[in-house]
Structure 1
Amino acid sequence: MSHATYQNKWVECMQELMEQVQIEYLPVDAKENGQHFEPGFQHFALLYIKYLQIYRKLEECHDQMVHPQKRGSIKKVLKSTIIRILELKEQLITFNLRPLNRFVALDEVLTDLKLNPETVEWKVPRYFLDGKECREEIEDKQHKIDHWLGVFGMPLDPDDLLDKKDPFEVGFTKDQAAAIVQKNVRGRMSIMKDRRVQFFKASRKAASKKQEKENEGDPLESQVLAATRIAAHWKRKVERRRFLKMREEEFEFLGMAPPKKDKGDADVVVEMQKQRENRKKMQEDSDDVFEKALKQQLEWLQKKKGADIKAELLEERRQWILDYCQNPEHGKEFPEKFDEFYQRFDKAQDDDEGEKGKDGKKGKDAKGKDDKAKGKGAKGGKKGKDAEAEEEPLEVPEWPMRSPRGWEGGLREGQPGPWFLLGRFQGKT
């Protein structure tokens, strides 16, 4: 298949996942609308089957797609889908008609959906064995197993897990052994007797045929009779073959029998395996190229813009320290932790959400405020000019820093602090 085929399949999977998310929120939406919707076994069974179908498509896309970044995105979605399938399996066990039985019967659901039982068969993701990370872990485990097998003197060949115990080694009593021997002897005698009877029958038949040939009359009549019998047998054979062929075609049409396998099917399977191997090689090459390009870009970014980015980040933190110390609530104390520096972004998001909630109220009062603003426009302009004239620049107070190890108002002597952020203030004492 082409790259576009798996791309389209990926798009279909994402659309189906969005539909599944909406279906999963049906109980919540029904409760908000005042409707009664209690999820049960049927609801979770439908979700489970649909997620399994999506999982198979995603796993195939991840296995066959070549683009490394797309494969990474698909892998994240695939892991989330697997987790959701396991959660649904636990919920099915909870709602199972057989309490706490891990075998969940989905026959009725599959019959209603007109699906084959193969739909709910679980298949292990192939990246568990083919992935680079898993491959290294498997190789390490295999080396450890080989090492310990060699230490204990055990063979390294894989065991076929078959029971190689000889059944005749089971202990028998004398009576049981004698009964088995008698049974075998009687069977051999019966076989010899049957062969003798068959020999007598064959000899009698040959003698009767010989006698019939001697008593034959007109040879032409016998030839016609023989030809008639041959034609009758041949017609019966031909009609039987035609009937069996019609029956097989009808069974295939009705879906009661699997389609015939042509000679080219084996070639198709081999071709698919070769195609998968070629795609795996293309995936490895693409991953290597992507990793090299990513490494080169990171080195270029660190070399060209690393110093500027570092300076901007340091300047941002220094400015935050200045604002923190200028706040009268803190009393010119140096911040002990930088949690507030990172929490302010969360506060900004909360404020934005609060403002969006108030937009409706502000929209209602907008007309009244605009009318009032028109009457006070001139006065406001004059006040604005006076305010700009009266504004004075803020003076940055000199910090009571006596040494690079401590602050008089903040950190004690020997108390650790982020001094790399205050490099430009080292000249002040």
Structure 2
Amino acid sequence: MAKSDNGFKVYPKIVPADKETVIHIVPLYDHSRFYDDVEYRAVCYPVDYSTKVYDKSQRPFVQHIKSKDGSFCIRQYFEGEQEHIIYIYAGEEIIHTFNVYSLYEDLYKLRPYKGDIHMHSYCSDGRECPAYVAASCRKVGLDFMAVTDHEKYYPSIEAQEAFEGLDIDLKIFRGEEIHPPNNWVHMVNFGGKFSINEMFTTHKEQYQKEVAEIEKDIESYVSQAFERHFLASCMWCFDRIREAGGLGVFCHPYWRNRTGYDTSTLLTKYMLDKQPFDALEVISGFTYGELESNSLQVEFYHEQQAKGKRIPIVGVTDAHGCDTGELFGWYYTIVFSSDDTLEGLISSIKGLRSVAVEAVPGEHEHVYGSFRLVKYAHFLIREVFPLHDELCYDEGNMMLRYITGDQGAKDLLSWVKGQTDTFYNYIFYEDI
């Protein structure tokens, strides 16, 4: 029976498409070593064989190989953007299986960053302090996050300041969940340099005047006064978020409160038609009994996509506690970006280079977004993120120790700094 690549360092696992690349297979333990005096066969299958050079009749691609000091180097041409399966045979028996993914240049140059940009601390209706939420995010494998408390911006600053002066890999950004006066729609300001909620007080008259002007502009488009005010208010808020340099997110459109959908389907339609937001929460933080809402959001998104809409998306937990056993860590966004700066992440999300992941415990992961990115994301979830997440756990654990006053954790954080970058450097390493 074929075994996975546990016990081996396999690099690179992500390679340039339509190029020849050397794959290194290095055992980590003595019992994993290959024998130098035995001839092995490496048999490589492209998952999608209907490509330019190869066809099914020419499969598989067999190499006779010998190990050197217990390790292998396999030179292979990886055609197209797809997964490739490498079987290692000893005689007629498959003894190991390894997986590689080849990418076209535009995507190969980017790195996958996991994040959650909608969650709460005890400063609104969550359970833990902002610093605890941030550290917990790293423990579950996130590369970036923001505390987005209801009507409060300062908790996200508190999360940043708790680790000020520390050189950590987790990117902690500012944010808030926005609740305008007389508007039920929930919005997230991710990364904005100032608070939108505070403007409802400090710029009250400006807000009322400008929203009224927007309402007049869209009167012929939205005949219902109720929805017209909500839409105008949202348009104003999303404009302010962009002025602040943030990403404006339209939250959980099919969340059901006690009386029905929090946002009417009619208003959601107007929001998708006008698209004043920067990103849609296509996957939101719903518990087992509420998953129908995510299903509706996904199908609505697909329907809009079929109509030609280009809709940037995110997946979030909307978690109100890190240790409740629900929501936290269940959902996240993968952003494919050249870097993990705020500007890079926002640009990539707006550029449709993100997917939303639903990883409810006990169920298979579901990924939503463009087909190309979804295929790649499934490979990452299966082949790359497990080790990435282990490395993140180390830093998150040290961050939690640090906020308890353990000064030794500061030195340990310096020691684990850069682990995920180093991991990606060899995962994407190219050796021709």
TM-score tier, shorter chain, comes to: under 0.3
**Structure with greater helix share of residues:** 1
Please identify the structure whose Cα radius of gyration is greater. 1
User: RCO (CA 8 Å, sep 6+): is it higher in 1 or 2?
Assistant: 2
Scaled by the length of structure 2, the TM-score of the pair is: 0.18
**Structure with greater strand share of residues:** 2
